[in-house]
Structure 1
Amino acid sequence: MRQRAFLMLRYGLIVGKFAPLHLGHEALINFARQHCDQLLLLSYTSQVLSHSTLRRQWLKAAFPWAQVCVLDAARLASWPELQLPDDCASDNVQREFVRQVLLRLGFRPDRVFSSESYGPGFAAYLSTATHPVQHIAFDPDRQQFPISATQIRNNPQQAKQWLSARVYQDFMLPDIQRIALLGGESSGKSTLAKRLADEFATLYAAEYGRELWQAKDGQLEYADLLVIAQTQIQREQQLQTQARQYLFCDTTPLSTLFYSQAMFAKVNPQLLQLAQRTYSFTFLLAPDFAFVQDGTRQGDAFRQRQHLWHEQQLIKRGVAYTLLTGTIAQRVQQVIAVLRM
């Protein structure tokens, strides 16, 4: 009888605040990748839940191959019986909380990675609860990366030395929530963005693609689509430094992805990555009022096609969104209800 060889997968776990995600964290995660087949990055903290969206973005962008779980208010609300421990709670309280989270996620690590002194005890605790779990240390004396997130938060002047360009840019910007407005042509996005900015006494990011289309008399080239997405993001980042609480975004790189497919039947890989950009809230505007032709639009059939595509993409990507219907005034009230609930 022939023997069958079974590949034993190695499941790794890293737990941290990642607030912010610094180069020491990134080195630890890349080290762990060499020693496991599947890696879960679990992030939680009782102090900076408001930054959960940023932490999720940083981890997913830098480590798309890893499983990322950032415990934000929405996720914790789905587990009402699970109490988020205070950051100052004892080691055993933290360990039991993580064990409970792992049970709910259905993830059974056989190794944990850390640069902390608590690592061996953490692994031993998980071992008593399930199956043997090994601790693998990385740079425990902090000789390679003599930094901590606490030091960076307390002294942001040294942040640039220890943060990637993306994290540094996000970390140094005000904690502004970006609001995505999506929809087909003549769905009222631009008007709604302006009205909402007035309502909340803040700013909105106008649609750069439309401006470029007009500047080039409608003759866009394939390479323009990537430029549009990059410029739109740059515009958002610049406006975030001046906005108050919310920045309303009249389109996102996801819409630019649609136009690239519709106009050229292909997409630049960099644009695909930019289309993963996430927002604090996403609103999809229904094509439920008369189509207005302003000389730049293709028609109502195209508008319906755009709406359906955006709807399918949001569902496929697991992005929560609110469908806005009715007049502009009614849509303003619908957005207010969501943001102020």
Structure 2
Amino acid sequence: MNTTFAHGLVIGKFYPPHGGHHHLIDTAAARCARVSVVVAASTAESIPLALRAAWLREAHPQAGVTIAPVVDDIEIDYDDPEIWSAHVEVFRHALALAHGGPPEIDAVFSSEKYGPELARRFGAVHVDVDPDRERFPVSGTMVRHDPAACWRWLSPGVRGHLARRVVVVGAESSGTTTLARELAGHYSARGGPWAATRWVPEYGRTYCEEKLALARRRAKAAGLPEPWLDELEWESAEFATIAERQLLWEDAAARTGSPLLVCDTDAFATSLWHERYLGVACAVHPRARHDLWVHTSVEGVPFEQDGWRDGEAVRHGMDVRFQEELARRRLPHLTVSGPPRARLEQAVEAVDALLARGWAFAAPL
């Protein structure tokens, strides 16, 4: 029969959190009236403490679970009693801040060899949880070494943060949507963690359609002729809205997708369309972050007017602007050209090189 405790404690770096961590916290929550989770991060590490704490709060919203973040830059030496004491003081400080005073701890839950000593120093019982990692064969070291191989053990928040984001940009009728769709399909066909590879469509197109429909409804109600697309008036705030919603779509897709996300346009491209319609480029959205831009050249691609595009002359001018700005901003990019199959092959070669570089994590203390 499992013993019920008043206040359980879980301590870790959560660099980053994974399925084993979540199992540990859930086990403690099931056996304790309340649980405190101390997130002890070093300033030398490359995932911010606040972000780790936010991921854990999202994954464990149940009542009675308190996430207590703290900076712990003390070296690790399990054989040094003074270092042990220094770490425990940091943990106690985090608990006191989280609870408005030092709480009593009667159980420490861990999967680590240092668990019994940590419990002894808190005057608590040690509860061993999956020490051989049979149920969750994963560790923070494994995740940092190869996130893609551990993808199944990562929560949506961590996936959204780690997913490599590739953006396909270009002028109108240059094949951006076709390439984005085919690129996602190529990696999805690899199976395993890549099976969920997705592409994010262009929100600006949706916004434009809705804007024109609204303008036509208003014109009809006023007894006026229906406006055409080139008669619409644009405001700077609309482009900011487009960029923000594009990023929301992107973030949502990254949280549920594979280690790779393909995006059909981004805030950078939106800034150039702002320039096209209002005469000046707007700032790129500060939260937008991408790893590679694939620019689709208009060369060799016949212009197709679908009723929503500016025209051939504007297309060539925008193609030049994309090339100029990608170079000026020193964004990692390539320009693909030729028939569709050749463009896909060029893009795949670049994305494969990006994925081969892996993920960079600063070494933990």
**What's the TM-score, normalizing by structure 1?**
0.51
CA shift, 1:17, in A, is 2.1
Distance 1:175 1:16 in 2: 19
Q: How does 1:87-166 map to 2 (within 5 A)?
A: 116=73
Name the counterpart of 1:262. 276
Distance 1:338 1:171, change over 3 A: same
Distance 1:23 1:241 in 2: 18
User: Deviation digits for residues 297-329 of structure 1, max 9, x if unmatched?
Assistant: 112221122122222222222212111001111
User: Deviation digits for residues 43-66 of structure 1, max 9, x if unmatched?
Assistant: xxxxxxxxxxxxxxxxxxxxxxxx
Distance 1:275 1:257, change over 3 A: farther
User: Deviation digits for residues 195-248 of structure 1, max 9, x if unmatched?
Assistant: 122222221100010111112224363122111101100001111122223211
Name the counterpart of 2:186. 199
Instruction: Tell whether the 8 Å contact from 2:268 to 2:284 is kept in structure 1 after alignment.
Output: no
Distance 1:143 1:253, change over 3 A: farther
Residue 21 (str. 1) matches residue 48 (str. 2): yes
Match of 1:221 among 234, 253, 272: 234
Match of 1:277 among 279, 288, 307: 288
Name the counterpart of 1:288. 299
Tell me, which stretches of 5 or more residues in structure 2 are unaligned?
A: 1-41, 53-70, 76-88, 98-138, 141-154, 189-196, 213-228, 354-365
CA shift, 1:22, in A, is 2.2
| Larger RCO, structure (CA 8 Å, separation 6 or more) | 2
CA shift, 1:257, in A, is 0.6
Distance 1:24 1:320 in 2: 26
Residue 317 (str. 1) matches residue 344 (str. 2): no
Tell me, which stretches of 5 or more residues in structure 1 are unaligned?
A: 1-13, 26-113, 119-139, 148-152, 155-167
Name the counterpart of 1:178. 165
Amino acid at match of 1:230: E
Q: How does 1:45-60 map to 2 (within 5 A)?
A: none
User: Deviation digits for residues 5-44 of structure 1, max 9, x if unmatched?
Assistant: xxxxxxxxx97222x112499xxxxxxxxxxxxxxxxxxx
How many aligned residue pairs are there? 200
Name the counterpart of 1:212. 207
Taking only aligned residues, the RMSD between alpha carbons, in angstroms, comes to 3.4
CA shift, 1:144, in A, is 7.8
Match of 2:349 among 329, 337, 340: 337
Distance 1:141 1:243, change over 3 A: closer
Instruction: Tell whether the 8 Å contact from 1:286 to 1:323 is kept in structure 2 after alignment.
Output: yes
Instruction: Tell whether the 8 Å contact from 2:159 to 2:254 is kept in structure 1 after alignment.
Output: no
**What's the TM-score, normalizing by structure 2?**
0.48
Residue 238 (str. 1) matches residue 252 (str. 2): yes
Identity among equivalent pairs (%): 20
CA shift, 1:279, in A, is 1.3
Distance 1:259 1:209 in 2: 10
CA shift, 1:276, in A, is 7.1
Instruction: Tell whether the 8 Å contact from 1:229 to 1:253 is kept in structure 2 after alignment.
Output: yes
Name the counterpart of 2:176. 189
Distance 1:276 1:230, change over 3 A: closer
Distance 2:44 2:202 in 1: 37
Distance 1:220 1:279, change over 3 A: farther
Amino acid at match of 1:246: L
Instruction: Tell whether the 8 Å contact from 1:213 to 1:220 is kept in structure 2 after alignment.
Output: no
Question: Match of 1:16, SS?
Answer: coil
Distance 1:143 1:306, change over 3 A: farther
Question: Match of 2:342, SS?
Answer: helix
